[in-house]
C-alpha cells in the first residue's frame, strides 16, 4: 500500500497542458488524520479560468460532433483505467480526506461505474418524430449537447463526485471546466492524468483550482458557459443558482440533506441496527445522505439503543490507511468545531449521552481531527442537530409513537434528499415511502446511491438527478425541427 510521505507538487491542467499557476501560489493539502502535508497544489485565478473556458469552447466544436460511440470508447477506457489504479486512487483519497481505505476503494469502484454507465447511455441519445396536425408539416425533436459546462465538486467524495459530473457531461458531448474542492484536489488531479492516457482530446476537460469565489464568478459570468453542475452546501448552491439566473444558465445541483431514518417496531432489529450504524458512520458521517435524525418507535427504543450502542462501541477509529479502521477523522478543524457545537448544544438542551461525546484523547489521534463515534438519546426539534447537517460521527435518536406523527416530523425540514424506513409491514412501507417528501427513499435499505438509480433531491436539496436511465438529460438540449414539404 502506497503511503504519501513528502509533499508532492501538483499543477493545473488547461487545454491539454500541465501548468504552474501564474500567481506562483500554492494550496497545501493536509491529511486530516495526522496533519501531514500530502501535496502542494498550484492555485489558479481568473486568468487561468478564462484560459480554461477558451479551451473548453474551442474543443466543444469537435467534441460535440464526435459520434457517441467514439465518446463512449474513451469513457470505457477511463472505467478500466480507474479499476486498474484502484489502490493508488484509494490511498490518495484516504490521505487527502481521511476516509478509511476500504471505503476509499469502494469510492474508486463507484467512480469507475459512472464512466461505464454513462458510456452505455451515450449510445442511447434518442430523438422523436411527432405527427403534425397539418398534412404538409413534419415535426422532429433532436437532442444536442448543452455546451461547455462548469463543474464544481465537494471534498467528501473527491473522486466519485468528479466522475458523477464528468462522465455524463462527456457522454453527452459537453466539454468541461472542473473546479474541485480546495481541501481535496489531488484525486481530481490524478484523475486528469488518467484522462490523458484514455485519450480525452485536448481542451475537452480542464482543471482549475484556487479561490472558489474568484473562479466561480468567472465561470458564471461568462456567457459561453451554458451550464453549471454543482455538488455542495445548500448555502453555496443558492448563491450559484442566483448568479446562473443572470444568463439563464442550466443548473444541476446536489445540495445538503437532513435524512430521517424511521425505525418501526415491526422491523428486523438486528439488520436495521447494522444498516443504521453503517450508514451513519460511513465516511465519518460526512455524506449528504447519512441519517441525521433517527426516529425509533417508543416500544422498541430501549432494545434498539442497547444494540446500537454495542455496535458503535465496536467501531475502530484511526488513520484510515489501516485496513481495520471503520471511522476516520473529520475533514478539518471547522468540521470538528461544528460537531462539538452540535453535541454541546444537544446536551445543554436535554439530550442524554449514550456513548462518545468528545474529541478523541488518544495519543496517536492528537494531530488529527478525531471525534469519538457518538450516540445521543432524547433528542428534540429545538436542538441544532435536529435542523442542521452535523457532517460528523454523531447519531441523534428521537422517539415517536404513531406513523402519522413521525411522517410529519420527518417532512418538517427544508431539505428533501434521502429518507429511510425500516418495517416488515408491506402496506406501511408503501404508505410511508409515498408520503415522505424526499428525492430518494430506502425501504429496509440505506444505500440509495446507485449508478443505475436517479440520485438527487427535492426542496432545498437540489435540482436534477445523477445516474439512472435519464442521466444525460441534464446535459442535453431539445431542438424542435419543423419542415413544410411540397407535393
* CA gap 397, 222 in Å, rounded: 47
For ligand ADP, which residue of 31, 94, 118, 153 counts as binding (CB under 6 A)? Answer: 153
Q: How far apart are CB 182 and ligand ADP at their closest, in Å?
A: 5
Tell me the window of 111-119, 151-159, 316-324, 433-441 that interacts with ligand ADP (CB under 6 A): 151-159
| Residue (86 or 182) nearer to ligand ADP, CB | 182
- Beta carbon nearer to ligand ADP, 10 or 295: 10
Q: For residue 347, what are the CA distances in angstroms to 298, 313, 383, 448? A: 21, 20, 9, 31
Site string for ligand ADP, 297-326 (x = CB under 6 A): ------------------------------
Of 111 and 236, which has the nearer Cβ to ligand ADP? 236
Measured from the CB of residue 153, what is the shortest distance to ligand ADP in angstroms?
6
Whether 471 is a known active-site residue: answer no
Query: Which of 96, 254, 265, 403 does the annotation list as catalytic?
Result: 254
Q: Which residue is nearest to ligand ADP (CB)?
A: 216
Smallest distance from ligand ADP to CB 337, Å: 13
- Nearest to ligand ADP of 119, 251 (CB atom): 251
The nearer residue to ligand ADP, 139 or 239, going by C-beta atoms, is: 239
Q: How far is CA 239 from CA 156, 243, 245, 475, in A?
A: 20, 6, 10, 21
Q: Does 78 bind ligand ADP (CB under 6 A)?
A: no
Q: Site for ligand ADP (CB under 6 A): how many residues? A: 14
- List Cβ neighbours of 330 (8 Å cut-off, separation of 6 or more): 32, 98, 284, 285, 286, 336, 339, 369, 370, 371, 391, 392, 393
Residue list 176-235, contact with ligand ADP (CB under 6 A): 179, 181-182, 212-213, 216, 232-233
CA gap 130, 4 in Å, rounded? 58
Q: Which long-range contacts link 58-61 to residues 24+ away (Cβ below 8 Å)?
A: 58/15, 58/203, 59/175, 59/201, 59/202, 59/203, 59/204, 60/145, 60/147, 60/148, 60/174, 60/175
DSSP letters along 255-270, please? ----EEEEE-TTS-HH
Nearer to ligand ADP, 7 or 212 (CB): 212
Contact between 46 and ligand ADP by CB under 6 A: the answer reads no
Near ligand ADP by CB under 6 A: residue from 236, 290, 336, 354? 236
Half-sphere exposure of 89 (CA within 13 A, CB side): 30
Q: What angle do CA 250, 251, 255 make, to 5 degrees?
A: 175
Asked if 239 is part of the footprint of ligand ADP (rule: CB under 6 A), the reply reads yes
Considering only the stretches 82-90, 96-104, 148-156, 245-253, report the one whose residues sit in contact with ligand ADP under the rule CB under 6 A.
148-156
Cβ pair 297, 399 in contact under 8 A: yes
Identify which of 13, 35, 27, 20 has the alpha carbon closest to the alpha carbon of residue 364.
Answer: 35
Is residue 378 part of the annotated active site? The answer reads: no
| Shorter beta-carbon distance to ligand ADP: residue 182 or 437 | 182
Gap between the Cα atoms of 377 and 351, Å rounded: 6
Q: Write down the catalytic residue from 288, 290, 389, 471.
A: 288
Contact flag: residue 244 with ligand ADP (CB under 6 A) = no
**Among residue numbers 368 through 427, which ones bind ligand ADP (CB under 6 A)?**
none
Q: Which residues bind ligand ADP (CB under 6 A)?
A: 152-155, 179, 181-182, 212-213, 216, 232-233, 236, 239
Q: Which residues are catalytic?
A: 254, 288
Amino acid at each position: 500500500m502506497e503511503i504519501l510521505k513528502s509533499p508532492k507538487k501538483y499543477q493545473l491542467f488547461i487545454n491539454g497542458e500541465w501548468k504552474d499557476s501564474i500567481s506562483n501560489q500554492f494550496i497545501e493539502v493536509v491529511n486530516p488524520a495526522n496533519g501531514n502535508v500530502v501535496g502542494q497544489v498550484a492555485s489558479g485565478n481568473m486568468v487561468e479560468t478564462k484560459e480554461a473556458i477558451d479551451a473548453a469552447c474551442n474543443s466543444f466544436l469537435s467534441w460535440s460532433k464526435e459520434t457517441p460511440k467514439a465518446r463512449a470508447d474513451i469513457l470505457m477506457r477511463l472505467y478500466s483505467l480507474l479499476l486498474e489504479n484502484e489502490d493508488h486512487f484509494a490511498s490518495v483519497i484516504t490521505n487527502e480526506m481521511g476516509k478509511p481505505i476500504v471505503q476509499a476503494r469502494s469510492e474508486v469502484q463507484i467512480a469507475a461505474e459512472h464512466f461505464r454507465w454513462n458510456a452505455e447511455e451515450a449510445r442511447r441519445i434518442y430523438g422523436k418524430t411527432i405527427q403534425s396536425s397539418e398534412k404538409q408539416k413534419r415535426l422532429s425533436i433532436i437532442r444536442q449537447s448543452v455546451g461547455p459546462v462548469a463543474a464544481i465538486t465537494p471534498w467528501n467524495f473527491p473522486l466519485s463526485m468528479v466522475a458523477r459530473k464528468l462522465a455524463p457531461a462527456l457522454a453527452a458531448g459537453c466539454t468541461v471546466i472542473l473546479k474541485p474542492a480546495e481541501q481535496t484536489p489531488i484525486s481530481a488531479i490524478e484523475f486528469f492524468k488518467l484522462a490523458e492516457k484514455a485519450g480525452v482530446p485536448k481542451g475537452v476537460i480542464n482543471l482549475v483550482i484556487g479561490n472558489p469565489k474568484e473562479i466561480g464568478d468567472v465561470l458564471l459570468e461568462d456567457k459561453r458557459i451554458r451550464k453549471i453542475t454543482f455538488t455542495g452546501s445548500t448555502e453555496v448552491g443558492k448563491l450559484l443558482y442566483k448568479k446562473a439566473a443572470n444568463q439563464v444558465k442550466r443548473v444541476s445541483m446536489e445540495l445538503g440533506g437532513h435524512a430521517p431514518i424511521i425505525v418501526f417496531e415491526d422491523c428486523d432489529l438486528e439488520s436495521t441496527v447494522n444498516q443504521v450504524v453503517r450508514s451513519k458512520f460511513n465516511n465519518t458521517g460526512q455524506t449528504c445522505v447519512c441519517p441525521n435524525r433517527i426516529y425509533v418507535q417508543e416500544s422498541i427504543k430501549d432494545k434498539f439503543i442497547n444494540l446500537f450502542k454495542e455496535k458503535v462501541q465496536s467501531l475502530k477509529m484511526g488513520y484510515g490507511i489501516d485496513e481495520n479502521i471503520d471511522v476516520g477523522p473529520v475533514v478539518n478543524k471547522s468540521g470538528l468545531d461544528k460537531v462539538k457545537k452540535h453535541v454541546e448544544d444537544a446536551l445543554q438542551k436535554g439530550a442524554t449521552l449514550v456513548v462518545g461525546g468528545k474529541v478523541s484523547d488518544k495519543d496517536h489521534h492528537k494531530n488529527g481531527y478525531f471525534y469519538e463515534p457518538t450516540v445521543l438519546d432524547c433528542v428534540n426539534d429545538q436542538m441544532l442537530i435536529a435542523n442542521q447537517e452535523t457532517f460528523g460521527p454523531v447519531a441523534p435518536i428521537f422517539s415517536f409513537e404513531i406513523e402519522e406523527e413521525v411522517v410529519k416530523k420527518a417532512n418538517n425540514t427544508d431539505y428533501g434528499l434521502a429518507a429511510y424506513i425500516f418495517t416488515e409491514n408491506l402496506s406501511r412501507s408503501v404508505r410511508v415511502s409515498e408520503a415522505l417528501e424526499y428525492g430518494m427513499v430506502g425501504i429496509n435499505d440505506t444505500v440509495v446511491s446507485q449508478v443505475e438509480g436517479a440520485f438527487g433531491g427535492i426542496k432545498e436539496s437540489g435540482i436534477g438527478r445523477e445516474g439512472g436511465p435519464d442521466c444525460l438529460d441534464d446535459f442535453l438540449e431539445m431542438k424542435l425541427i419543423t419542415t413544410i414539404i411540397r407535393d
